[in-house]
Amino acid sequence: MRKSRIGATWALGLITTSFVAGSASAEELALKRVMLSTGGVGYFEHEAQVSGDAELTFDVRLDQVSDVLKSLLAMDPQGRLGQASLPGRAPLSEIFRDLPFSQADLSSTASLLRALRGQMLRVSAHATTMEGRLVAVTEEKVSLGEGQGTIVRNRLSLLTPTGMRQVVLEEADAIEIMDARLRAQVEQALAAIAAYAAADQRTITIDVHGQGERTVRVGYVVAAPLWKATYRLVVPEKDGEAKLEGWALLENMSGQDWNRVELSVASGNPVTLRQAVYESYFVNRPEVPVEVLGRRLPPVDVGAVPEAELAEAANGGGGGGRMMHGFMAAPSAADALMHSARSAAEEGAPEPPPIAEPTEGATQVVFRFPDPVDLPRGQSLLVPIVSESLPIERVSWYRYDVDARNPLASVRLTNDTETGLPPGILSIYENAQANEPMSFVGDARLGALPAGEDRFVSYAVDLEVRVDREEKFAQLVKGAKIARGVLEVRRVEQRTTVYKIKGAADEARVLVLEHPRIQGFTLAEPTEGVIGTTDTHVRIRREVPAGQTVTVEAVLERPIEQSIVIGSITAQELGVLLASTEMSAAVRAALEHVAELQRTLASREEALALLRTERQTLVSDQDRLRRNLASSPQGSDLHTRYLAALASTEDRISEIDRTIDTAEAAVRVAREELADYIANLSI
């Protein structure tokens, strides 16, 4: 099998090609296509010329392997793809799982020897060699004398055939692990640590099978610097057409030069995801107790799958396989992304690239550059994507939350092209006369502009126009009806904002006023000049003659439905309702009759209340007279006077009781008349 190597050098999140000595030629392994997206990713596609069966390999930086595995796309139009494989990402903890020492034990000789306690060692020190089994490694502090402090040494204790021997570790000339197997394990662990520290790359191998010479393409999506759109707009002195130039600023942070690369940039808002597919994950399993004799733990029944479904799964279900097994064998996605780019230009001095060819898709606009692009590594490139004449209208644009006093000098830009324009910053120039220099008037921000739509771009404060603003609030009755004694009142809450626009002294203006929208409210006034709405505002257009003041009243209304039981309406509330001029004559007459009945009832209730108050006063006076009568001598003039007054009070109380009975009857009649009238009232 012929092997062809595609090396991928990673820098700042981008894959580019590099070459390894002894691999296939540069023409076979060239980076051919790059597509940069506003989603913060780039699509990179390589081509390799193969004959018969071949292996294509990529060196990928470790922290970018997951992106490549997630998006890798291989296309062999005349052959078939076998499988793709790469080394597993075994953590160091797996390497040390079955070793008698840990990774931390390799941090020092003393730590390793402590972990190897009981092993046979051969130690040479001071021209003496001893062999024995390691008993202990003990720390001890040794004074340096003369106030120079202390040092820590480690003393080895060995059990030798001749007895216990000790040696200071720091004075040993050589220490040998006598167990060859254990010595090999230490060597392998150290090699694994070194390899893990240096292995910041993984190699992905793709097998292709076929006959004859053919081109195999491999592409993937990885993080890339965001490309930026910038615009220049040259506006005439009056309304008409403005010249729009758009440029794409992109950067080559891939680590290698782009030579004759078919370049595209895409503007949209794609969903771009990251997933650590190269990490190892384990499923947490429930733990069950160990069964002992006499104890049974029946399994939990979770149901059964019918045999028909099992047979269908066995015939059509797919099992697991090696990673990335079975890529697409024919061009599809990458062709759709890049196929329209033109072939490389003729050799010679590079020329400025022509305007990109835009293509409107379902979710994005793709700008493809017809000629291949050269861009050295680490450099930026400004390439044209738009050159159009678009209709504009010069306006003053006012929003209170942006500037409370002055509108902004703006341009209403209409995209009458066939494709949308990506968002970007916009530099605006004025060209008053054909042969005079340009004048820079300000910068603006252009949002995404789909085909057929328009946008306001504001670039300066219009100091010659001033806007004063006043707010008013009111609640009006707009109508009422009565059903079974319930009054249904239709009210309207109004929020009125008065804008007084003082125009420029020497020039007429077209002012677009953006009035805030409020949830639940609709715009009642004005009814003319409304040119559209945004999510938050209503746009109102007014022409402001030179030196004049124009007033705009924006009225927002919200209907309020209120149901009131007529029997519970107070006289004051009824008076407010009768003051409205929006109710029908029938409803008004009915409410006036209710008011008359309420007045009659109130008058009778007031008379009854006066009688009851008078009787309460007489009863209190009667109690006083009885106390005075009991304390005065019988037969005296004072006693006689108290008796006469007591009799007169008793007669008046009897008279008032008869009058109260009559008044209570009158109140009952008035209340019943009011209730009967209300209960049968429907208008």
pLDDT by residue (tens digit) across 400-426? 988 999 999 999 999 999 888 999 999
From CA 342, how far away is CA 350, in angstroms rounded? 15
Q: What is the mean pLDDT of residues 24-28?
A: 36
From CA 39, how far away is CA 269, in angstroms rounded? 6
The pLDDT assigned to 255 comes to: 64
The pLDDT assigned to 28 comes to: 53
Residue 572 corresponds to which tokens in the numbers above?
Answer: 């004051």
Same domain for 214 and 344, yes or no, is yes
- Comparing 175-179, 319-323, 478-482, which segment has the lowest mean pLDDT? 319-323
The amino acid occupying position 238 is K
Tell whether the model's pLDDT for residue 559 goes beyond 60.
yes
User: Using one digit for the tens of pLDDT, what is the confidence trace for 227-284?
Assistant: 999 999 999 888 889 999 999 999 988 767 889 999 999 988 888 888 888 777 778 8
The pLDDT assigned to 24 comes to: 34
Tell whether the model's pLDDT for residue 303 goes beyond 50.
no
Q: What is the mean pLDDT of residues 49-54?
A: 85
Beta bridge pairs of residue 55: 3, 207
Sequence-separated (6 or more) residues with CB below 8 Å from residue 437: none
Name the region of 22 (left: φ>0; alpha: ψ -120 to 50; beta: rest): left
From CA 515, how far away is CA 467, in angstroms rounded? 13
The pLDDT assigned to 301 comes to: 34
Same domain for 221 and 363, yes or no, is yes
The pLDDT assigned to 270 comes to: 83
User: Using one digit for the tens of pLDDT, what is the confidence trace for 156-172?
Assistant: 999 999 999 999 988 89
From CA 346, how far away is CA 557, in angstroms rounded? 69
Task: Tell me the range of 74-78, 173-177, 197-201 where mean pLDDT is highest.
Answer: 173-177
Same domain for 362 and 215, yes or no, is yes
Same domain for 350 and 494, yes or no, is no
Name the residue with tokens 């050799």.
347
Question: Which one has a higher pLDDT value, 341 or 478?
Answer: 478
102 belongs to a structural domain:
no
Same domain for 513 and 364, yes or no, is no
327 belongs to a structural domain:
no
The amino acid occupying position 42 is G
**Residue 394: which pLDDT band, with cuts at 50, 70 and 90?**
very high
- Comparing 90-104, 322-336, 362-376, 594-608, which segment has the lowest mean pLDDT? 322-336
From CA 209, how far away is CA 80, in angstroms rounded? 5
Tell whether the model's pLDDT for residue 61 goes beyond 80.
no
**Residue 308: which pLDDT band, with cuts at 50, 70 and 90?**
very low
The pLDDT assigned to 89 comes to: 64
The pLDDT assigned to 497 comes to: 96
DSSP 522-571: EEEE--SSEEEE-SSEEEEEEEE-TT-EEEEEEEEEEEEEEEEEGGG--H
Residue 125 corresponds to which tokens in the numbers above?
Answer: 């020190």
Same domain for 452 and 371, yes or no, is no
Question: Which one has a higher pLDDT value, 622 or 11?
Answer: 622
Cβ 428 vs Cβ 419: under 8 Å: no
Ranges of beta strands (E only) in 62-114 are 73-75, 80-85
549 belongs to a structural domain:
yes
pTM value?
0.58
Domain count, the chain: 4
Provide, rounded to the nearest whole percent, the portion of the chain with pLDDT above 90: 31
The pLDDT assigned to 19 comes to: 28
Same domain for 339 and 219, yes or no, is yes
Question: Which one has a higher pLDDT value, 347 or 394?
Answer: 394
- Domain end among 413, 431, 461: 461
242 belongs to a structural domain:
no
Tell whether the model's pLDDT for residue 668 goes beyond 70.
yes
The pLDDT assigned to 76 comes to: 84
**Sign of the alpha-carbon dihedral angle for 176, 181, 187, 190:** negative
- Domain end among 433, 461, 489: 461
Same domain for 406 and 359, yes or no, is no
The pLDDT assigned to 263 comes to: 92
Average pLDDT, the chain: 80
Tell whether the model's pLDDT for residue 290 goes beyond 70.
no
621 belongs to a structural domain:
yes
**Residue 91: which pLDDT band, with cuts at 50, 70 and 90?**
low
127 belongs to a structural domain:
no
**Residue 66: which pLDDT band, with cuts at 50, 70 and 90?**
confident
Residue 344 corresponds to which tokens in the numbers above?
Answer: 């490389």
Cβ 30 vs Cβ 7: under 8 Å: no
Same domain for 622 and 660, yes or no, is yes
From CA 521, how far away is CA 56, in angstroms rounded? 65
Same domain for 389 and 535, yes or no, is no
From residue 17, how far is each of 12, 201, 253 by CA, in Å? 14, 14, 13
- Domain end among 516, 542, 569: 569
**Residue 195: which pLDDT band, with cuts at 50, 70 and 90?**
low
Same domain for 262 and 362, yes or no, is yes
The amino acid occupying position 482 is I
How many other β-carbons are positioned within 10 Å of the β-carbon of residue 67? 24
Q: What is the mean pLDDT of residues 422-437?
A: 81
Tell whether the model's pLDDT for residue 536 goes beyond 50.
yes
Same domain for 434 and 359, yes or no, is no
The pLDDT assigned to 540 comes to: 94
The pLDDT assigned to 98 comes to: 81
Residues in the chain: 683
From CA 428, how far away is CA 84, in angstroms rounded? 53
307 belongs to a structural domain:
no
Residue 189 corresponds to which tokens in the numbers above?
Answer: 């662990």
Domain of 345 in residue numbering reads as 2-89+203-225+254-277+332-375
109 belongs to a structural domain:
no
The pLDDT assigned to 596 comes to: 87
